[in-house]
Amino acid sequence: MKYEQIIADLKNKIYKPIYFLFGDEPYFIDLITKYIQNNVLTEEEKAFNQTILYGKDTDIYSVINAAKRFPMMANYQVVIVKEAQDIKDIEPLVHYATTPLKSTILVINYKYKTIDKRKKLYRVIHENAVAFESRKLYDNEIPGWINNYVKTKNKQIGPNSGMLLNEYLGNNLGKIANELDKLIITLPDKEDKITTAHIERNIGISKDYNNFELHKALTQKNVLKSNRIVNYFAHNPKDNPITLTLTSLYMFYSKVLAYHFIKNKKDRRSVAATLKVNPYFLGDYETAARQYNPKKVVEIIELLREYDLRSKGYNNVSTSPGELLKELVYKILH
């Protein structure tokens, strides 16, 4: 089941006896757990019918015993096991999962790990309850997720603003959601769109000096703007770590190289899907491909690898990250 379907069922009071929530992305696991914890039982019912256990402090047999209890003066009891990945051996849960109590809602948080889908436990839970895998979103999926999240709050965000947040915050959905909530709260009256200026004022991300703007400056071979940005990075290294910039540039130029070898470039939607980018930004890759032929792009990727090593101390004794970045940008542009 998808996250949206699980939440929709919960809102309609369609409950399953077990929710086995696993995977590398804790955000969706936490949201489902929080909804069950806050909404299935009334405050009066929670006193006797809601149990929260932690993997480090329990074992699977204690979990099963808790799940086998019957509710007191309520239709359900809720048992939540947080950090269940710390339970040494979770496989015996299969004995309970085969015939779970319908009056118990057992929530297993199995974060940062995946369950072996070949084993009986997964098959039994999949058949009798909910086995939900919460996977990390790919980088190209984050801007779309940001846009959808803002829509659920009846607000809007432009593509550039979404990309700016993605560049600055990475793919940590919990962190992104927190920052978006702050931005929404601070939107002026009668405004419903988050802009780059609004982000700069309230989060501290510069709308003019960031990796996204550096991509555009290099794409246009704008020497002045490129140097202004890397000079800003050099003077603000804590907010603009060289590792993040090098990674961002590597991803960008890897896509530019891939663009060169796409045969049918007329179908823009297909091209965007192949590159795994928002079609809105496809023009940047088209422009970059015109400015940098395949040979030059390969040279740039080799430079990025070289400067990544130098930034970590290989063949570099005293050159600062800021100076390394200036050297790199010069070599990319010339």
| Cα pseudo-dihedral 325, 326, 332, 334, rounded to 10 | -170
CA gyration radius, the chain = 25
Residues 107-131 have pLDDT tens digits of 999 999 888 888 899 899 988 899 9
Q: How confident is the model at residue 191 (pLDDT cuts 50, 70, 90)?
A: confident
Q: How confident is the model at residue 258 (pLDDT cuts 50, 70, 90)?
A: very high
Q: What is the mean pLDDT of residues 22-40?
A: 95
Q: What is the mean pLDDT of residues 294-300?
A: 97
Rounded Cα distance between 230 and 333, Å, is 13
Q: Share the mean pLDDT of the chain.
A: 92
Q: How confident is the model at residue 331 (pLDDT cuts 50, 70, 90)?
A: very high
Q: What is the mean pLDDT of residues 178-188?
A: 91
Sign of torsion, CA 140 145 148 150? Answer: negative
Q: What is the pLDDT of residue 231?
A: 94
Residues 210-255 have pLDDT tens digits of 998 999 999 999 999 999 999 999 998 888 899 999 999 999 999 9
Q: Find out whether 37 and 80 touch, Cβ atoms under 8 Å.
A: yes
Tell me what percent of the residues of the chain surpass a pLDDT of 70.
100
Q: Domains in the chain, please, with CATH?
A: 3-133 (3.40.50.300), 139-203 (1.10.8.60), 211-333 (1.20.272.10)
Q: What is the pLDDT of residue 203?
A: 82
pTM score = 0.76
Q: What is the pLDDT of residue 116?
A: 85
- What DSSP letter does each residue of 40-79 carry, written as one string? SS-HHHHHHHEEEEEGGG--HHHHHHHHTSPPSSSS-EEE
Q: What is the pLDDT of residue 22?
A: 95
Residue 252 neighbours by CB under 8 Å, 6+ apart: 215, 288
Q: Find out whether 66 and 100 touch, Cβ atoms under 8 Å.
A: no
Q: What is the pLDDT of residue 253?
A: 96
